[in-house]
Amino acid sequence: MEIRLRILLLTVLLGLSGSLSGCATLRHLFGHDDAPPPTPAPAPADAGSSTDRSAADDTTPPRVIEPAVERKDVKVPRIKSEDIEVGGYVGTLNIEDFGAHRVFGVQAAYHVTEDFFFQAEYGASKAGYTSFEVLSNISLLTDNERWYRYYDMSVGYNFLPGEVFLGRNHAMTSSFYILAGVGSTDFGGDSKFTGNFGAGYKILPTDWLAVHVAVEDRVFNSDLLGVSKLDSNLEAHLGLTVFF
Amino acid sequence: MLLLSGVLAGPAARAADQHLQVFVTAPYLQMHTGPGRGYPVFNVVDRDAGVDVLKRYTDWFKVRDSRGVEGWASAHDMEQTVYADGTHFHYDTGDLNAFTSHRFEAGAFFYGDYGGASEVSVYGAVFANPNLAAEVSVAEFLGTASNGTTVDLGLVHIFYPQARLAPFVMLGTGVVRTEPKATLVEPDDRTEQSAYVGAGLRYYLTRRFFLRGEFKEHIIFTNRNQNEQVDEWKFGFAFFF
């Protein structure tokens, strides 16, 4: 009886050791570390043999077919935007008390909607002589102080958009616009806070080119001639801008 | 072989010059003579026909149909077109959602007061998330006692960015260049560092536009006995993109 019990226990122990040896956590326990990793069996020479295939299925993982076609990144062409307008202008600036003189400037605008735009301008002119200076032969300003330089930032509004027709076959878009803003004027050795407002008309011979005719007034408080007063400096200019 | 490779490379080389093509899903797509709502409609493109999108000006797209006729279509009408893969064409004209979350913004302050002097300034900001932005502003102040320029760099935190009226606070540092006006003794121009705290309000108007008003309190670190404190008020327009 005792011998039979021993045989039974030993049989159970042997059976357990055989089944637990497949568990990864117990591999070290039973010294299976040295066993080489399973290598995939070579492809069967006779692929048509079902018995070979079933034998291979038991030993090798299923093969994933790698497509030989490269995946293409489809790039949607970018739409070119033309909201920014940059250009220059030349015109006449009437500097109060100092006469009217040629003015040159550059301008840039960002069109936010078809109606509204932001615009920045920078221009320079050189003032002449006051009547007092001419008659008395006394110079009130140095040569450098006669440079009249300004910049401004404005908000503009396009109104009365339309088309201009050149004969039967050509039409150009056009628009009136008004603008107002603030800026700075450097003249007579001092910089002054300047308000500006004006109106203009532009014609676009092509989508990307515009011809401007504009009139603007720049107003600032000046005490250059000893009395504090509001100076009004009217400017008319012809400009050429491109959109990009 | 060379000829074959040349033929195969041809479309790829030309792809760079190709325009985006979209297909009309509405009964028709109207083409205007100019980029504006007032310009007359002179051509329509039928449903399922394709058009090339040549360029964009504000909310208008210049398109060309299969016959080579070019005209302007509104962004609203272009929403009724699809790409070749069937997905809808969409152009973001700006809305309250875009106001809540965008990458860049810029603006100009048309009213400014810097310690009693009139001020002109512009700013630009880049957003890390809808609440937080890094901002740089440049200003010129023009007063009776002195003129000068300031450059500020700082952080802005926006509360409730999803609201049409959103408050914000600011913190940063800057540089002030002051040019005192000549009196009996002409003082030197000076450049000093400053720090500021501030708060303001942003109010969404429409499309990409919003209003912005703010107050900053600057402490200017002078080399005199006392630091200088300057209050700054600004109000202006801004847009995001």
Q: Is residue A58 part of a domain?
A: no
Q: What is the pLDDT of residues B37-83, one digit of tens each?
A: 999 999 999 999 999 999 999 989 999 999 999 999 999 999 999 99
pLDDT band (50, 70, 90) for residue A137: confident
pLDDT band (50, 70, 90) for residue A14: low
Q: A90 vs A244, which has greater pLDDT?
A: A90
pLDDT band (50, 70, 90) for residue A43: very low
Q: Indicate which of A154, A184, A209, A222 best probes the interface with B, i.e. most B CBs within 10 Å of its own CB.
A: A184
pLDDT band (50, 70, 90) for residue A147: very high
Percentage of chain A modeled with pLDDT above 90: 46
Average the pLDDT over B14-37 and give the result. Answer: 85
Residues A120 and A176 placed together within one structural domain of the fold: yes
Average pLDDT, chain A: 81
Residues A88 and A28 placed together within one structural domain of the fold: no
Q: Is residue A49 part of a domain?
A: no
Residue type, A53: R
Residues A148 and A209 placed together within one structural domain of the fold: yes
Residues A8 and A127 placed together within one structural domain of the fold: no
The number of folded domains in chain A is 2
Q: Is residue A44 part of a domain?
A: no
Q: Which residues of B touch A (CB under 8 A)?
A: 15, 18-20, 33-39, 53-62, 83, 108, 110-111, 117-120, 122, 140, 142, 147, 181, 207-209, 237, 239
Find the range with the poorest average confidence among A53-57, A151-155, B66-70, B159-163: A53-57
Contact B39, A158 (CB under 8 A): no
Q: Is residue A24 part of a domain?
A: yes
pLDDT band (50, 70, 90) for residue A209: very high
Residues A92 and A208 placed together within one structural domain of the fold: yes
The verdict on a CB contact (< 8 Å) between A79 and B56 is yes
Which pLDDT belongs to residue B44? Answer: 95
Residue carrying structure tokens 């038991």: A58
Q: Which of A158, A183, A207 sits opposite B120 (nearest CB)?
A: A183
Contact B208, A112 (CB under 8 A): yes
Residues A92 and A193 placed together within one structural domain of the fold: yes
Q: Is residue A232 part of a domain?
A: yes
- Cα B212 to Cα A86, B107, B203, B204: the distances in Å are 26, 9, 6, 9
Q: What is the pLDDT of residues A62-85, one digit of tens each?
A: 777 777 777 666 677 788 889 999
Would you say the pTM of this structure is higher than 0.80? no
Q: Which of B48, B206, B171, B66 is nearest to A115 (CA)?
A: B206
Residues A151 and A219 placed together within one structural domain of the fold: yes
Which pLDDT belongs to residue A59? Answer: 66
Residues A3 and A123 placed together within one structural domain of the fold: no
What residue ranges define each of the domains in chain B, with the CATH number in brackets? Answer: 14-91 (2.30.30.40), 97-240 (2.40.160.20)
pLDDT band (50, 70, 90) for residue B184: low
The verdict on a CB contact (< 8 Å) between B209 and A182 is no
Q: Which residues of A touch B (CB under 8 A)?
A: 76-83, 110-114, 116, 118, 153, 155, 158, 161-163, 171, 173, 181-184, 190-193, 207, 243
- Position A29 pLDDT exceeds 80: no
> Looking at residue A236, which CATH number applies to its domain?
2.40.160.20
* Per-residue 3-state assignment (H helix, E strand, C coil) for B79-143: CCEECCCCCECCCCCCCHHHHHCCCEEEEEEEEEEECCEEEEEEEEEEECCCCEEEEEEEEEEEC
Average the pLDDT over A49-65 and give the result. Answer: 59
pLDDT band (50, 70, 90) for residue A5: low
Average the pLDDT over A190-215 and give the result. Answer: 95
Residues A26 and A95 placed together within one structural domain of the fold: no
- Position A52 pLDDT exceeds 70: no
Q: Is residue A26 part of a domain?
A: yes
Residues A22 and A129 placed together within one structural domain of the fold: no
Q: Chain A residue closest to B119 (CA)?
A: A193
Q: Which of A235, A239, A240, A238 is nearest to A101 (CA)?
A: A235
- Position B222 pLDDT exceeds 60: yes
Average the pLDDT over B159-174 and give the result. Answer: 96
pLDDT band (50, 70, 90) for residue A16: low
Residues A3 and A98 placed together within one structural domain of the fold: no
Q: Is residue A64 part of a domain?
A: no
User: What's the domain range around A196?
Assistant: 84-243
Residues A19 and A97 placed together within one structural domain of the fold: no
Which pLDDT belongs to residue A131? Answer: 83
Q: Chain B residue closest to A180 (CA)?
A: B110
pLDDT band (50, 70, 90) for residue A169: confident
Q: Indicate which of A70, A72, A75, A80 best probes the interface with B, i.e. most B CBs within 10 Å of its own CB.
A: A80
- Give A118→chain B minimum CA distance, Å: 9
- Position B154 pLDDT exceeds 50: yes
Q: Is residue A150 part of a domain?
A: yes
Distance CA A185, CA A191 (A): 5
